[in-house]
Structure 1
């Protein structure tokens, strides 16, 4: 009769030993041999008529080892289920186990030992005790005007003027690399690009005024562009910003086309293009709707910042002990990528922090009875589809169209998509609950100050 024993070998660290008697595995071994004999295809014998003695001689040892180890695994799993053991990862076989001692010619009593790391009982930090800053970003008149200008350009009409006479002109350019003599380098860099006149350096910009289609001029990127714009031009031309000489390379730039976006007038057609279905009639109504839209976007940024504060509060204030020795050994042996002892030691703090957050989320889900259902997953798939299409306002679209549901049906069969979406939705719901529990300390802030704060704390 099989016996399973357990002993503590460290903090939340247990050794489980499975002992098998012969009667625990011999019946399944004999049955497996008979099944093997029925399926074996050996030259000189009809299928299913191979003598059992020959099968035992040829394959007995491997079948025997498989059945013993399968029995051990079943006894171990049954024990953990019956004892309701909450463990990390999978049990790790201990070095003392010796499968080479298994001998089908001399069945005996065998013992196999495993190490497990137990999950700790946790008490999540009291969110009601958290007083966290909640930043209210001020929408200024300047921000509103800047967004109106951007939308007018986005919804404007492209024209083709005769000459460059405006910093908003778009220049379609062909860049060609030159040598020291000013001749085009054969096989050198040649690339088409579109650049707004205002992206050139101020001193260089003035020299572009009055130029026409098919005009050419020489430049180096260092003189033609300031640092920010220079970096993406360098990248687009296949040059590295780390190469000190790259910005000094001479180029010939030829204007292949001139363009200018004429701003859309502030009329009903424009209002309906920006806010379809809202039936905005005048500029005042448009400005009001746009301001509300900007406030909503900034509110989302503020909530994300609050969620970051909630994350840090929970991780910092929730005390959890881990079976560190087991987890480091599991990192070395049990993961998809085996690691050295030094690698496991180095990566453990980050690994433990991630594990801690997972346990906190699991506990909050349990404490608050948070569920993710099929409708949540389908709604998430639809939102993702329309975000890919560049239209986030699902309320203004017919989201029940057959092609939309066909797409969602396909995504629901994608196991990875469903798993990733489940965790994303679950985490969002956890933060939504947490937001209702913490105390918000509202703080007015400008967008510039808010963005600076975010850049200093990247998480």
Structure 2
């Protein structure tokens, strides 16, 4: 009968020794040997007629080792389950000489493992956390810009021969060039469609009069103001805040010129955008747009509150870790993931440990909230998540009859995708953790404009990367 002993190695770090005797593995080894004899296909012998001695000689050592290790794993798992041990990852085997396993001399064997134990801890008191809830001003300018965007998006396009107005849409290809205007080998190349008004006044003047097939050379920072530069740089895979990226030069090759005729503000547009028919007048339309803008910024503000909650909990919840075990586990994982490639160095592990421990800390905090608060994710919530995601792919347009067969077929298919279900489960569970946390806080309200809020969020993101 197997015996198991434990001894401490360090903080939340234990050595488990599993000792098995012959009775733990021999019966299963002999059974495995017999089954192998029945299945073995060896030239010169009929199936099932291979002599037992030959099978034992050829395959016995590997089968013997397999059964010993299976017995050890079984005893170790049973012990951890019986003890209800809360451990990190999986037990790591300590050095074991498998050569000592002798099929001709079955004996008692001892295998050693090390485990990292999850700590007990108390959550930081969120009721005392200094958290700010931001209320973003919704201005007429924001409403007008969104209406203008929608009028452009749903407007009509007509082809033109020459660039001649700010409502012109130019299909261009960005081709990276050097200071002399020569194409850079393996440089950036990207197609885009831009309103002439996106460019600075100087570049608009240069583009006026150009035809399909013409081109001009630009420097990003000179061709676009800050707002437009941000999305143009992002589309090119660049960073508008990097000086070198802003100074990159490109040749713009014009492949098509169109005139954008804005959609009129009338019931046709209102019905196109809101087919449910609850918007009939421009006043109702503006009110609807204002509500949508408000909801967008409210969600951004809530994201920021959740970010504050995350940092308050992670920074102020004291959790001890079995760092020696976790470090060794990271090295082992690295070696397995790299395969034939060199595993991570000690210096790389040193660099990664703080981030890894922070992520692990949040995982433990989330697990504690889930357990203590009885957080559940129900099957119908997973199906609702899949349905909402489907409609988001469709631009947020939800069919009047959400019970249509094709909708249910899609959801049924997603529910059979294990990876999708796991991801959806984790996202819903995480949202519920934050929902609980939001009931514990007493945020201070602060009124800000959208520009101030965006700047604050960007500065925070830069500070944490």
- TM-score bracket for the superposition, by shorter chain length: 0.7 to 0.9
Q: Specify the SS of the correspondent of 1:89.
A: coil
CA distance in structure 2 between the aligned counterparts of 1:122 and 1:58, rounded to whole angstroms: 54
Residue in structure 2 matching 1:350, options 345, 349, 355: 355
SS in structure 2 opposite 1:103?
coil
1:443 to 446, 457, 463: 446
Could you tell me how far 1:190 is from its partner in structure 2? 10
Structure 1 residues 426 and 206 mapped into 2: Cα distance closer, same or farther (>3 Å)?
same
* Structure 2 unaligned residues grouped into runs of 5+: 338-342
In the alignment, what sits opposite 2:19? 19
1:444 aligns to what SS in structure 2?
Answer: strand
3-state SS of the aligned residue for 1:115?
Answer: strand
1:297 corresponds in structure 2 to: 296
Q: Which runs of 5+ in 1 are unaligned?
A: none
Matched, 1:170 2:173: no
Matches of 2:188 and 2:310 in 1, distance apart?
49
> 1:217 and 1:282 mapped to 2: Cα distance?
44
> C-alpha deviations, 1:3-24, integer Å up to 9, x for none?
1111111111111101112222
Mark the CA change 1:191 to 1:126 in structure 2 (over 3 Å): closer, same or farther.
closer
Taking structure 1 as reference, are residues 194 and 123 closer, same or farther at Cα in structure 2, changes over 3 Å only? closer
Query: Following TM superposition, by how much is the alpha carbon of 1:426 offset from its aligned partner in structure 2, in angstroms?
Result: 0.5
Q: 2:177, 2:249 within 8 Å by CA — same for their partners in 1?
A: no
Counterparts of 1:156 and 1:248, CA distance in 2: 30
Equivalent pairs counted in the alignment come to: 448
SS of residue in 2 equivalent to 1:16: strand
Q: Is 1:247 aligned to residue 249 of structure 2?
A: yes
Q: 1:368 aligns with which of 356, 370, 373?
A: 373
CA distance in 1, matches of 2:130, 2:174: 56
Cα deviation per residue 1:252-284 (whole Å; 9 max; x = unaligned)?
x56x65422222222111222222214222211
Cα distance, 1:222 vs structure 2: 3.7
- Residues 1:380 and 1:183: Cα distance change in structure 2 (over 3 Å): closer
CA distance, structure 1, for counterparts of residue 189 and residue 367 of structure 2: 56
Q: Given the alignment of the two structures, is residue 43 of structure 1 paired with residue 35 of structure 2, yes or no?
A: no
1:127 Cα offset (Å):
2.2
Taking structure 1 as the reference length, the TM-score comes to 0.87
Counterparts of 1:234 and 1:445, CA distance in 2: 27
Return closer, same or farther for 1:50/1:330 CA change in 2, 3 Å cut-off: same
Report 1:228-239 matches (<5 A).
Answer: none
Question: 1:2-151 maps to which residues of 2 (within 5 A)?
Answer: 2-95=2-95, 97-151=96-150
Mapping of residues 234-383 of structure 1, within 5 Å: 247=249, 257-334=256-333, 336-337=336-337, 338-383=343-388
Which residue pairs with 1:155 in the alignment?
A: 154
Q: Deviations over 1:188-244 (max 9, x none)?
A: 9999764422233312423554x3866x75632249824766898899999999599
Q: Structure 2 vs 1, CA of residues 291 and 266 (structure 1 numbering), >3 Å: closer, same or farther?
A: same
CA gap of 1:46–1:452, structure 2 versus 1, over 3 A, is same
Q: CA RMSD in A?
A: 3.4
Distance of 1:134 and 1:349 partners within structure 2: 29
Q: Secondary structure at the match of 1:311?
A: helix
Q: Residues 63-101 of structure 1, C-alpha deviation per residue, up to 9 Å, x if partnerless?
A: 111111111111111111111111111111112x21110
Kindly provide the CA deviation profile for residues 88-115 of structure 1, in whole angstroms up to 9, marking residues without a partner as x. 11111112x2111010111111111100
Question: Distance in 1 between the 2:346 and 2:155 partners?
Answer: 61
